[in-house]
Amino acid sequence: MRWCGLLLLLLAGCAAPDQRPEIVVQRFFGECGVIHGGSTDVAAADTECGILTTLFNRFEAENPDIRLKVNVVAWPGYPQLAAQIAAGDPPDLVTMHQSVISDYQDRGLLEPMDGVLVEAGVDAATFTPAARAGVVKYGRVYAMPWDTIGRLFHINTRLMAQAGLMRDGKPVLPRSPDELLAQARQFKAATGKPYLVQAHVNAPDFHVALLYTYLLAQGDTIFPDARHVRLDTPAARQVVALFRQLHAEGLTTRNQDFPAATARFVQGGGGIFPVGTWMIGPYDAEAARPGSALYRSYAIAPFPRLWGQDAAFVDGHAWVMPRAARSRSERAAIARFLGFLARYNADWSRTGQLPAFQPVLETDSFRALPHRGDIVAIASTGTQLPEHVRRQSAIQGLIGEELEAAVTGIKPIDRALADAERRVNRLYAELP
Amino acid sequence: MSATSPRAGLSGPVLALLLVGAAVMLTPMVWTLLLSVKSNAALLGDSGAALSPPYTLDNYRAILADRLTSRWLLNSLIVSLGTTAGVLVLSSLAGFAFARLEFPFRRSLFLFVLLGLAIPEQAVILPRHQLFATLGLHNSYPGLILPGLTGSFGVFFMTQYFRAIPRDLDEAALLDGASRLRLFWSVLLPLTIPAQATLGVFTFLASWNDYWWPLISATTSDYYTLTVGLASAQMNYAQTSGLGFLMAQAVFASVPILIVYIVFQKQIVRAMAGTAVR
């Protein structure tokens, strides 16, 4: 018996090593192996985590000649990526926000992906304009776009109707700052509730998205070059003054972080929640649940035009390839994986994010998804940050802090905007 | 209650103040526990739903059903216990040497060790990361354990404790023919058990709760510790639609810490009261 055991051990030791090419894919969106661990039915999957997990399962099932190793990282995963790059051991593909790509591309840490995308059968000409702007830097494609994230007005139509702000089954949205204030006052008088639900605490991105959107609408250049931001402008003062007035008059919720604002909207605690595409799914589920404050009372719309022209500041998720030495077979495996993902981009759009590929955007199945017809234009008109903008996360934090202080009345608007500009420019001055 | 009981000295208002303080401290914990036994859907619209039934253990089932969670739990145990054992061994030896042995540059070396107390981890994390990368130690247990062994606090703590033990004991043991090693192992070390317990508990807790180093050293999920793993498992932006699951994760990660507190509460209270080094 002992000899048999020894023989088995020897045989195990003699087993041929796994010759398959390995690709290491690193992503955020969480871990949900419990729910979707064994599933390969992509069409049946839901949530960002669920759809990605199922996609990866399916790829493994369909491509047994490739070893797929998946790292799930804590959102957003950039500290880990930086550490991996510093250690000389980066993953092969990584989820990255399109607004962050410049930061890594600028330092030569990402591989241009034009070649691998061609090998994958992914035609960069099929990217939507918004997605293309997010991944093309200085004429080269540095990522395969996965979606476009836009900010929207999520609307409680029951409360809007109560306030007399519905026409032909559609919400009546303002077309100027004065109209916004008038409608907000009308809404509050009729419902006793704030017109806007907003996250004012620890949510710098909310203020920044609003400010960027309405500066773009007025044709302001926010980032004139790679080392400067321009925020201390009449246009910016107008935008912040409007939101400060809404806050001062109690026409918006106050002192809430993002989860609290989310809950407030679900409870029917306000008329409009200006938040991202990613909340369409959860709110739609609420709209279908009898007893919910949103039951059959939910609509979405792009940010209304208050100044200048229609505009939407957008971002998106993308798959980037950190620079590293890779064999021919590994590159081929990466290409096959990217091609596989691209074919399932339509499934990803069930999450609420807009697809990154124009053909998907034009399919009947996409248009048949709830509310998508109302926001599809964002994939074309959405504006990304210019390609020379670096350290987006850090500067968003700085600008957001100052905006929070200005909107809530802690700081004079002029000073807050001047401080935001000064702090960002100082950060840029320290960059190599 | 005897007349000498500590509680006997508390006046009514002080007791009331303490009770209010305890309630303030306990409320977030009870709140977390209640949220953890509610369904995520129920909490999406109203976190106040935690105050009323129905309650469910689904969030805990989801955590336990994930094969990676047990792996992360094991990793945390290996890293925390490994770090604790290493710190106790090294700090005891170094403490004994600094307190009892004469060797060249002893004072300078001790001063050098003390300097470590003034340097925050963030200041050394980049060179340490590079060093570990060069040595190929990332994504390994040694990579997670070794940085925890270099803390100055343990050495300082044990040195002070050894110094507080009367030197008469050394002289008696040496007169009886004991070697330095015997003196350390059989005479002095048993007297440091209270300090070892305190240092051990603190080291274990610090290692268990550590997030930053495991986050950047363990970059494959097989080597995540529980803190990093649970953070990576969060499924959506700000965990808006998974509040119950998030709270269950928090409770789950706290259980081992709670056990350590219950088992070693005497040592912890003594350490907090500053009586361990007497």
Model confidence pLDDT, tens digit, residues A212-233: 999 999 999 999 999 999 999 9
Q: What is the pLDDT of residues A257-308, one digit of tens each?
A: 888 898 889 989 999 999 999 888 888 888 998 989 999 999 999 999 999 9
pLDDT at A71 over 50: yes
Residues A155 and A142 in one domain: no
Whether residue A100 lies inside any domain: the answer is: yes
Residue B172 lies in a domain: yes
HSE-CB of B70 using CA atoms within 13 angstroms? 7
Q: Return the top range by mean pLDDT from A320-334, B223-237, B259-273.
A: A320-334
What would the pLDDT profile of B89-143 be if each residue is shown by its tens digit? 999 999 999 999 999 999 999 999 988 888 888 888 888 988 998 899 999 999 9
Q: Is residue A250 part of a domain?
A: yes
Residue B211: list chain A partners with CB under 8 A: none
**Sorting pLDDT into bands at 50, 70 and 90, what band is B278?**
very low
Which of A266, A299, A306, A300 shows the shortest CA–CA distance to A282? A266
Of the pLDDT bands very low, low, confident and very high (cuts 50, 70, 90), residue B267 is: confident
**Does B42 score more than 90 pLDDT?**
no
* Better pLDDT: A55 or A351: A55
Domain contains A232: yes
Mean pLDDT of B3-20: 75
Per-residue pLDDT reduced to its tens digit, B145-164: 999 998 899 999 999 999 99
Q: Is residue B277 part of a domain?
A: no
Burial of B265 (0-12, 13-18, 19+ CB in 10 A): exposed
State the smallest CA–CA distance between residue B55 and chain A in angstroms. 19
Query: CA-nearest residue of chain B to A50?
Result: B235
Partner-chain contact A87 B133, CB within 8 Å: yes
**Nearest-Cα residue of chain B relative to residue A287:** B45
* CB-based contact A187:A195 (threshold 8 Å): yes
pLDDT at A177: 97
Range of the domain at A108: 20-146+316-376
How much is the pLDDT for B3? 45
Q: Does B45 touch chain A (CB under 8 A)?
A: yes
Greater pLDDT, B246 or A22? A22
In a domain, B39, yes or no: no
Element (H, E) at A72: strand A67-72
CA dist B212 and B215 (Å) reads: 5
For the stretch B179-197, pLDDT in tens is: 989 999 999 999 998 889 8
Same domain (yes/no): A307, A331: no
Instruction: Tell whether B110 is covered by a domain.
Output: yes
Residue A9 lies in a domain: no
Chain B residues closer than 8 Å to A278 by CB:
236-237
B233:A72 CB<8 A: yes
Instruction: Give pLDDT tens digits for A378-411.
Output: 988 899 999 999 999 899 999 999 999 999 999 9
Q: Is A71 in a helix, a strand, or coil? A: strand
Per-residue pLDDT reduced to its tens digit, B61-96: 888 877 788 889 899 999 999 999 999 999 999 999
Tell me whether residue A15 is in a domain.
no
What was the pLDDT predicted at A335? 97
Residue in chain B closest to A263 (alpha carbons) equals B45
Shared domain check, A295 and A322: no
Quick one: A88 and A212 in the same domain? no
- SS3 category, B186: helix
Q: Is residue A11 part of a domain?
A: no
Interface test with B, best of A34, A278, A294 (most B CBs within 10 A): A34
pLDDT of residue B271 exceeding 70, the answer is no
**A249 and A176 housed in the same domain:** yes
Q: Is the pLDDT of residue A16 over 80?
A: no
At residue B208, the pLDDT reads: 92
By the 10 Å C-beta count (0-12 exposed, 13-18 middle, 19+ buried), A138 is classed as exposed
Q: Could B215 and A266 be called an inter-chain contact, meaning their C-beta atoms sit closer than 8 Å?
A: no
| Chain B residues in contact with A293 (beta carbon < 8 A) | 45
Same domain, A75 and A224: no
pLDDT, one tens digit per residue, over A121-141 is 999 999 999 999 999 999 999
Residue B20 lies in a domain: no
* A258 and A398 co-located in one domain: yes
**Same domain as A197, residue A168:** yes
Assigned domain for B183 exists: yes
Round to whole Å and give the CA distance between B49 and A30. Answer: 25
Domain identity same for A288 and A193: yes
* Burial annotation A209-231 (CB, 10 A radius, 16+ → b, else e): bbbbbbbbbbebebbeeeeebbb
Q: Which chain A residues are closer than 8 Å to B47 by Cβ?
A: 259, 263
Chain A residues with CB within 8 Å of chain B CB: 24, 26, 28-35, 47-49, 69-75, 79-80, 82-84, 86-89, 257-259, 262-263, 266-267, 276, 278-279, 282, 286, 292-293
Residues of chain A with C-beta less than 8 angstroms from the C-beta of B43: 263
Residue-averaged pLDDT of chain A: 92
Of B44, B126, B138, which is closest to A263 when you measure between CB atoms?
B44
Total-model pTM: 0.83
Residues from chain B contacting residue A295 (CB–CB below 8 Å): none
Residue A382 CA to residue B262 CA, distance in Å, equals 56
The confidence score (pLDDT) of residue A14 equals: 54
Q: What is the pLDDT of residues A92-121, one digit of tens each?
A: 999 999 999 999 999 999 999 999 999 999
**Residue in chain B lying closest to A202 (CA):** B238
Tokens of B58: 């689904």
In a domain, B27, yes or no: no
3 state DSSP class of A239: helix
Q: Is B245 on the interface with A (CB under 8 A)?
A: no
CA distance B139 to chain A (A): 10
Q: Are residues A365 and A403 in the same domain?
A: no
A4 within domain boundaries: no
Domain containing residue A414: CATH number: 3.40.190.10
Based on the domain organization, do A402 and A416 belong to the same domain? yes
Tell me whether residues B237 and A278 touch, CB distance under 8 A. yes
| Distance from C-alpha of B38 to C-alpha of B53, rounded to nearest angstrom | 8
CATH number at residue B225: 1.10.3720.10
Which residues from chain B sit within 8 angstroms of residue A258, using beta carbons? 237-238, 240
Burial, B45: exposed, middle or buried (Cβ in 10 Å; 0-12, 13-18, 19+)?
Answer: buried
Q: What is the pLDDT of residue B272?
A: 65
Structural domain including B174 reads: 60-272
Beta bridge mates, A313? A383
With contact defined as beta carbons under 8 Å apart, do A112 and A140 qualify? yes
Establish if B86 belongs to a structural domain: yes
pLDDT at A188: 97
Q: Which of A187-196, A210-219, B174-183 has the lowest mean pLDDT?
A: B174-183
Count structural domains, chain B: 1
A169 and A86: one domain? no
pLDDT in tens, A328-358: 999 999 999 999 999 999 999 998 899 999 9
> Please, what is the Cα angle at B276 between B272 and B278, to 5 degrees?
135
Q: Which residues of A touch B241 (CB under 8 A)?
A: 262, 282
B contacts of A35 (beta carbons < 8 Å): 62
Q: Is the pLDDT of residue A423 over 80?
A: yes
Residue A58 falls within a domain, yes or no? yes
- Contact (CB, 8 A) for B80 and B214: no
Number of compact structural domains in chain A? 2
The two tokens of residue B10 are 């508390």
